[in-house]
Structure 1
Amino acid sequence: MSLRYAVLTLLDIDPGSGYDLKRRFERSVSHFWSASHQQMYRELHKLHDEGLLDCEEQPQAGKPDKKVYSLTDKGRAELRNWVAQPAAPQKIREPFLVRMFAGHHLSRDELHGALDAQLQLHRGLLDNYREQNERVLKSDPALQERYWLAHQTLLLGIEAEKTWITWAEKLLVELEEKREETN
């Protein structure tokens, strides 16, 4: 998948500025897709140049005009065609796992510290996703129905983080057991 379709999908929900889109991105698809602010703006401009987005400038007091993007019919058709295509599963690209693969170069303490730091990051992500889930569950029932499928991706993100945490906690216990065996 490319950022192109994440942007089209988010603008299909509601028109918005680059800033609006980045915030929406962080509160929705960030549990399975990432992009920098610069990448987001580059993609908005590219999609606009291709005729997939309209851009309306809205004046703001004391600030530059706000550019609000929305899908064109051509953009909606592009999104629909993309959604209809089968998607191949993606392989995990996780830098931490490469480090773990080469973890035999670390002392037990260094390995423990690296794993514990990763565990804390995943606990933080899980807390964030659970907060997002609570907001969804407290939202208007009509919105919940409209975005039911989108919500399912968040629920998968929660399960993925729980799996990471279970794996890391188990590995920390095993590291501690190995440390006791050698003492």
Structure 2
Amino acid sequence: MWIDILLLAELARGPRHGYELRREVEAATGHTLSNNSLYPRLRQFVDGGAVLRGSEEQEAKPPRHVYSITDVGREVLHDMLAELPEGGADQSREFHARLVNFAWLSPEERLRVLDARDGVLALSRDRVAALASVRMERWSRLTLDHGIACIDAERSWLAGLRMEIQNRVTPSPSTQEHG
């Protein structure tokens, strides 16, 4: 689903040709997106009313298809961003596709996405820590300790993001009405 999010988000920035879409998503993700993956998705979006497909004339060439997002597509994009499906919070690509498009979400929706990711990381940390507590072999222990440190670092980063969101939502004392 993360590719769908990135495609719709790119179209929300403006109409694109299929090649432009593919190139921009690939540049942003480092993930190769084949035509056999891209065009069926675009066709599904067109069939669902989320995307319009038009034609652009070219000199001495067949017309190119130009894709643009509709209001329905913006709603679909918003819903995909706001809902982190079961199993999606433990997938970095799913989470990061939402994170880079947080501007589409309300602060409350952003916090729900961050909380879903943090909950998965907390469970993962518990599993890795339990395994580390019984592993005495040096290399296993070093690997597990590194995994715990990485999880802790991401959870700390998420806490910082959460604070930033909450600080922007909560009025500062200087802007609150005095009564």
TM (norm. structure 2) is 0.46
Larger RCO: Structure 1 or Structure 2 (Cα < 8 Å, ≥ 6 residues apart)?
1
Which structure carries more helix by proportion? 1
